Amino acid sequence: MLKEINGEADSRMAKSVGVLRTELAKIRTGRAHPSLLEHVTVDYYGSEVPLNQAANINAEDARTLSVVPFDKSMVGKIEKAIMTSDLGLNPATAGVNIRVPLPALTEERRADLVKVVHQEGEQAKVAIRNIRRDANHQLKEFQKEKELTEDDVRRGETMIQQLTDRYVAEVDELVGVKEKELMEI
C-alpha cells in the first residue's frame, strides 16, 4: 500500500519536472536551438501540425535557425507561421530555405526571461506540493479505513516528504542552470 502511493507520487512528480524541462527549453537563451520553434504550428493541408512535422529545423550557427520544408509549396505558410508566433522572429526566405535570425538579447529582456523562468519553477513546485498533499490525503483515508496503522502513515508521510524534497531540489537546480544560461552574454 505504501509503495503504491509512494510510486504514484514519484511518477507524478517526475512528470511535473518533465513539464518544467519542456517549458524551460522553449525559453530563448540567445543561442539558436531547434526546440525554440517546437510549439509553432502551421496549416498543413487543412490541419494544424507542429512545425517540426512539416519541415526540417536545424541550427545553422549560434544566432540562426534554418527551416527547410518537406514540401516546397509550404514555404509561405511556414514563414507566416513563424512571423505570427509569439517569438517575435522575422524569417528570411532564400528559395526553399527559410533562415530565422535570432536578435541579440538585451539586459532588460534577459531579466524578464529570468522572471519567467522563476515563475515556471514556482508552478512546478506548487504541482509537486499538490501531489504531496494528495498522497498524504490517501494515507489518511487508508488509516480511517483501518487499512494502515498510525506508524505506517507516519512512515509514508516521511517517504513522501523525502520525495518532495528531492524533486523540489531538482526544480531549483533546473531553474538555476537556466538562469545562469540566460545571464551569459
CATH number at residue 175: 1.10.132.20
> What domain range includes position 162?
2-26+106-183
Same domain, 125 and 178: yes
Number of domains composing the chain: 2
Contact 157/6 with Cβ under 8 angstroms? no
Minimal CA–CA distance to 124: which of 7, 4, 17?
17
The DSSP symbol for 103 reads P
CATH number at residue 72: 3.30.1360.40
For residue 134, which amino acid is it?
A: D
Per-residue pLDDT in tens (0 to 9) along the chain, 185 residues? 888 999 999 999 999 999 999 888 877 666 777 877 877 889 888 888 888 888 888 888 878 889 999 888 888 888 888 888 767 788 888 888 999 888 777 788 788 888 889 999 999 999 999 999 999 999 999 999 999 899 999 999 999 999 999 999 999 999 999 998 888 76
Determine how β-strand 47-50 pairs with β-strand 55-61. unpaired
